[in-house]
Structure 1
């Protein structure tokens, strides 16, 4: 600087340093850089620095991985919760299985098969209520400590809790299947056994998604339990077992159509009862005498051509015994149960599961994340 202005031990300044600096190329370069920075158009922006300016330190998929891993650890460190799931599934399966043990091929036995499936569906509310306290404790920790600190997003929190439930629900579903199915229906063809197992597992996954839908916006487990019981009562009462659809008042038929248990029970009953022969017990038979000189078979031949039933003693000349059904498909058709709909119904339950998860996400955002302006 001294050399530029001409100053030094033996000289005197002949140039004004501020003026020299203003006219220099270096000054112009510095001014240009300052203008670029002020405009926010720095072309040398580092991509890493841009990423660091996002809301969270990690991308969403990394958040989801680490949060899911942590929730798995928390579940593993809460054995009472896991054992309660296993106990509920095992005890319910054994109780239902041995209540309808070895259902015979009579009409009453077929009814027993239907009501055994109906009774399995009745544990839905309890399955959901098991999820509520665990979710509430996780949510309280997240909303008080981790969301204000921007540790991870609410989407990662919610999806991680849904994911972690799935393996435990699958395991519990397998236990219920083993305790319930073989006690009621015994060993059947392998394809039917697999389909019933898939239906049972699907039911338990649905229960978890239903629980998250209910608890997503509720302040505590107790409030969620009231909503759970109300919704469960509606979908259970109008699933077509207690009252066939044709007997429902016109206004309430829509509940039969929208209830997920309608399709779940229909699918599993169709799988279990398809081609199952009906052998009427003595009280279930219609007994009558044919006209003189005719056997029971001769008398009923025109009727049997149009009727779904069967004649037990066609060669008898008195005391004809007629059974109203030949196979269980004829009996369950009154409940709108059709073997051809089994895979369609299986897919519909997955659609309900997806709907529950999507609605839980939307409701959580609307009521617990979104900040609404008042006034």
Structure 2
């Protein structure tokens, strides 16, 4: 895209004077139907950020409501080291600017597709941070509902940053949800049950714990536990909790991570392990030198440190419930590891 064409897509400075006074927008990092994400520089400090520029004119009612809910949740969970930080918000009649910290090491998904799978030590390093971040989110009454490697960033120090709260909801004590949303391969059985049974009991925070199990399985062997080219078989596998450790990739993996995954991927959410119990599991009790364990990961990622964070992918996800499971499964299959 020519520079002139990029510049044409920037909102007129008259509609966002406060944003332009503080930040200088740079190249596009990603685009969606109603928003664009750009790298931007804070003029006073020279620090880099990622600005998500949302055009409200494409969906003036529900679009603005969804953005305001995400802003509320981002502010509600702010301050934790493993949660993406919303730095600034600017509003006009037609645009909302969300300014996020910029994580130059990109998505965990990107790294995983490069190396195929992670060692037990690297998985332990990543998953401990993921669990601690999710534990904090839940302590604030928030259920994320779309945890996956694409929604986990790695910052400049190779620490986890959970992002994309477009599907997240704040729950009152005892409240349950019934709507079907998220990414198919990471959906918990109780979420799918809500779309298939009129008398489904609903779901709550435990769906995030299930997703952590799927993420952990995927990190260790490079493929998700329930994926199948036939989407109905994949659905049935999830509903039945049908997966295995029989592939050759599991041969050299110890019993501790397998045991934790078994406790995470329990079909009945009432019998699923809690996050507190997961963090106390023997898999996380191994004494090790963290810097030494993560050194190869840091080295490999820093070779690509010139790349800016793909927060675009995370920020541009459409915050819409699944209208049909089939369409989302097709998209998931196209992005399979």
Band of TM-score, shorter chain: under 0.3
TM-score, structure 2 length as denominator? Answer: 0.27
RCO comparison, higher one (Cα < 8 Å, 6+): 2
Relative to its length, the structure with more strand (as a share) is 2
Relative to its length, the structure with more helix (as a share) is 1
Larger radius of gyration: 1
TM-score, structure 1 length as denominator? Answer: 0.25
